[in-house]
Structure 1
Amino acid sequence: MKSCITISLVEEARGGPFVLWDGLEKSIAFAGELGYDAVEIFAPSVESLNLDSLGNLLDGAGVRLAALGTGAGWVKHRLQLADADAKKRSDARAFVRTIIDAAGGFGAMAIIGSMQGRSDAEVDSKTALGYLAEALEDGGQHASQYNVPLIYEPLNRYETNQCCTVAQGVELLQSLSTSNVRLLCDLFHMGIEETDIADALTHGGDLVGHIHFVDSNRRPVGCGHMQYGRIIEALRAIDYQGYLCAEAFPWPDPHEAARQTMRAFRYWTQTD
């Protein structure tokens, strides 16, 4: 398993569960100094990133790009994949494809979380889930040209009413014609929705493509009450070799949150 840390460039999301906020140059350099294998970036749009400069920064720090998030599509641009309006759904899928293209050039994944949307008075639950499935089909097929999967994240009930558990995510992915979509299993969301996190990861099996490594209170690992022994055992049992990525509140501050996560990562993966 490999280490990863989140960097947010989206001011509208300030205060959210992203560890580093001090711009790409300083954040990537700091991640490299701490020994992180990779970073996950939450950017306002592809246009806001200078991809050549990003590549130079990553190379200089000796870290990889693990993934780009699509969340700004919702947080900043108010685009979501289950919108009642067909034009807005189309715009949302197009936004996702731009993120896939940018990430794919680095051999990295794109993540769909908050952009999945939800059912409401205008869109019933079956229709909303169908719209999401269509978007995952589109994105998964688009990502295949880069030999990376599209990553889909079930969220807790307070953030979506689409898929909230790993089992629901597995069912959705197995209904698709594309096999190029994997699950992001976020330990914070799982702590709310799953009866047993380790069992849920085991059920996810080879569909588990990315992990958000965080504690029960969304603070860095070791700053809450989550029990990690069986979680790590389950990940080893399914032969998970991807990233454990810190998507956590920058508590008590970004630099200490990054250091604490690395300490926890090394502790829990020391026999790797």
Structure 2
Amino acid sequence: MTAWKMAYHANCWGALGGDAVGVTSIGRLAYRTFGDMDRAAREIAAAGYEGIEFFDGNVLDAEAEDFASLRRLLDETGLALVAVYSGGNFIFADILEEELARIERAADAARALGAEHLVVGGGATRLSGVRAGDHDALAAALEKVVGLAERRGLKAQYHPHLSTIVERPEEIARVFAKTSIGFCPDTAHLAAAGGDPAALVAEHAGRISYVHLKGWQREPFAFVPVGQGDCDNGAVIRALRTIGYEGWVCNELDAWPDPAAGARESLAFVKAEVGKG
């Protein structure tokens, strides 16, 4: 199917959370799926995917053993680790060094396991709202992420996300004007923030070397399999074909009663849309 390789994020096989120790130790705060990652990988492979993405916390769990358990899991399933997802506040100067040190650990893990991409989200929204300079601080921090990724042979990607200071198209453009980081569009988050994901793919085509496809429904708000809901992922797929995109496409679904069924449904949708030519 074109020159795309299909991956799936392991976050659907458990509750999304973070490390509680991060409340008092910024350098140890990571994303985490509280679930069985062995089961996730095996079901993702059985659904027909070639690759997988993990949160940084789940990968760093295997750091002490030099990632032996993850290497074994990837070998047994035949999956490639495509990306590791991390993030940070990025706008608070006093803790930026700690945040970047943690992201460096995630990047080291990604390199050790043969991943191509380091994906980060973030840009904290203050309780008092956005202040002058916050977008500039975020962009400067993202440029540091670009550097640490490049030193490890990784491609750095920024993933705009609801609840951060980069949700809407104008915020995306504002930050991208000041950093060279790649753009990992998460179609559901872009649509939920009021953007047109297909138009954003076209606008920022030169930055895109990794993609997250996700479904989203407006009422009641929920993330759903890629072909369901109010996010026109068919239009996104057409836009990706128009710009000549080649590389990994990662389907994603934050939570679903039957994670394996959601993975299969999302893959079937993408294949059907690509098959339309």
TM class by smaller structure: 0.7 to 0.9
**1:63–1:12 Cα change, 3 Å:** closer
**1:104–1:152 Cα change, 3 Å:** same
Report the residue type matching 2:100 in the other structure. Answer: R
**1:270–1:44 Cα change, 3 Å:** same
Report the residue type matching 1:87 in the other structure. Answer: D
Partners of 1:269 and 1:6 in 2: CA distance: 20
**1:250–1:129 Cα change, 3 Å:** same
Partners of 2:46 and 2:111 in 1: CA distance: 25
**1:43–1:25 Cα change, 3 Å:** same
Cα displacement string for residues 16-38 of structure 1 (whole angstroms, at most 9, x for unaligned residues): xx9x8642222112211222011
1:241 matched to 2:246? yes
Equivalent residue of 2:209, what SS?
strand
Equivalent residue of 1:248, what SS?
coil
1:67-86 pair list within 5 angstroms: 67-71=83-87, 80-83=89-92, 86=93
Cα offset for 1:7? 1.2
Partners of 1:258 and 1:168 in 2: CA distance: 31
* Structure 2: stretches of 5+ with no match in the other structure: 19-30, 218-222
Report the residue type matching 2:207 in the other structure. Answer: L
The match for 2:72 among 56, 62, 66 is: 56
Counting aligned pairs with the same residue, the percent is 22
Partner of 1:41: 54
Partner of 1:164: 167
The match for 1:255 among 235, 244, 260 is: 260
1:104 matched to 2:111? yes
Report the residue type matching 1:237 in the other structure. Answer: T
Partner of 1:225: 230
Partner of 1:193: 193
Partner of 2:131: 125
1:141 matched to 2:157? no
Cα offset for 1:195? 4.6
Partner of 2:178: 175
| Structure 1 runs, 4 residues or longer, greater than 6 Å off | none
Report the residue type matching 1:198 in the other structure. Answer: A
**1:21–1:227 Cα change, 3 Å:** same
Cα offset for 1:222? 2.2
Partner of 1:75: none
Partners of 1:117 and 1:183 in 2: CA distance: 18
CA contact (8 A) 2:197 2:236 kept: yes
Aligned residues: 251
Partners of 2:124 and 2:150 in 1: CA distance: 23
Partners of 1:45 and 1:246 in 2: CA distance: 18
Cα displacement string for residues 187-245 of structure 1 (whole angstroms, at most 9, x for unaligned residues): 11121234533222100112123222111221111231333332211101112223322
- Please say which of residues 1-10 and 216-225 is displaced more in the overlay: 1-10
